[in-house]
Amino acid sequence: MAALPVPLLAPLLAVVLLLLAGCGGPGAAGQRRKEMVLSEKVNQLMEWASKRSVIRMNGDKFRRLVKAPPRNYSVIVMFTALQPHRQCVVCKQADEEYQILANSWRYSSAFTNKIFFAMVDFDEGSDVFQMLNMNSAPTFINFPAKGKPKRGDTYELQVRGFAAEQLARWVADRTDVHIRVIRPPNYAGPLMLGLLLAVIGGLVYLRGSNLDFLYNKTGWAFAALCFVLAMTSGQMWNHIRGPPYAHKNPHTGQVNYIHGSSQAQFVAETHIVLLFSILPGRSMWLVTVFC
Ligand SMILES: *[C@@H]1O[C@H](CO)[C@@H](O)[C@H](O)[C@H]1NC(C)=O
């Protein structure tokens, strides 16, 4: 067999090299590997997300699934300290709101693998806190699908508070995923309405079922008083913020009726306040109203 002339050999070699680099070369293999790692990560996260709405992460999981590329999903991470001995009252409240948000997403018809909700507890991943130079909890950070978190990816807790609705607005800003927050039902509103109707009904009954009481100053004074008491005890805030009636600590089983911070209150707390504003003043206003 005759040897190929040199001028023909060189381009042939070049073509072979190009083919090697293009189809079976390290570039394509890397791409395929990346794709495999990515789908493995997404599958893992989906499996966890199907079991609980907020995925608990330690340092290892955080580094592998949140920090390291490749990623095509956002992860919202709550950094917190929920162990009782940390005595972080705000952490517990923020956690409740975060669970409401994550649950609203998990059971939403719009649920996709574009975004995941996770948390790192200080006692399970203190190395992560160190790595991110974080020294306060709770902190919410969005780790976007591409690149590192930017300024706006850290939630401004001090400014916006930790209500699930506020968190949802921030998530929509950062990730374009819109979550409609669905809270467990709250019976305080109907209860107050019932109370008001009972009072009016009682007045009608006492007044002999006619509408004279509409012209009655006492009736109006009484209604105004009820209104003032309802407002000053925070019934309106209950409607706006929709807090739980009371908080039961899942670890100790102890029930709290008074909120730990001055930033919020439970429904039970407003009823206690209401009671306290009625009790000491009772004899006074009975005298003023009915004499
Ligand atoms: C991310 O990539 C994985 C693997 O290719 C894929 O299954 C998943 O649907 C992708 N997610 C999004 C939001 O495109």
Residues 72-92 have pLDDT tens digits of 999 999 999 999 999 899 999
Confidence of residue 276 (pLDDT cuts 50, 70, 90): confident
276 assigned to some structural domain: yes
Share of the chain above pLDDT 70, in %: 81
- Looking at every residue in the chain, the average pLDDT score rounds to 82
Centroid of ligand 1 to alpha carbon of 263 (angstroms):
41
Question: Residue 255: its pLDDT value, please?
Answer: 80
Return the best residue to mutate from 31, 46, 74, 113 for the ligand 1 pocket (most ligand atoms within 8 A of CB): 113
Q: Is the pLDDT of residue 6 over 80?
A: no
Among 150, 175, 200, identify where a domain stops. Answer: 175
Which has the higher per-residue pLDDT, 5 or 36?
36
Residue 115 neighbours by CB under 8 Å, 6+ apart: 73, 74, 75, 76, 105, 171, 175, 177
Together in a domain, 283 and 231: yes
12 assigned to some structural domain: no
pLDDT in tens, 153-168: 999 988 888 899 999 9
Among 154, 175, 196, identify where a domain stops. Answer: 175
Together in a domain, 119 and 57: yes
The answer to whether the predicted template modeling score (pTM) of the entire model surpasses 0.75 is: no
Q: Which numbered atom of ligand 1 lies nearest the CA of 114? A: 13
Residues near ligand 1 with C-beta < 6 Å? 35, 38-39, 42, 72-73, 113-114
Q: 130: domain range? A: 26-175
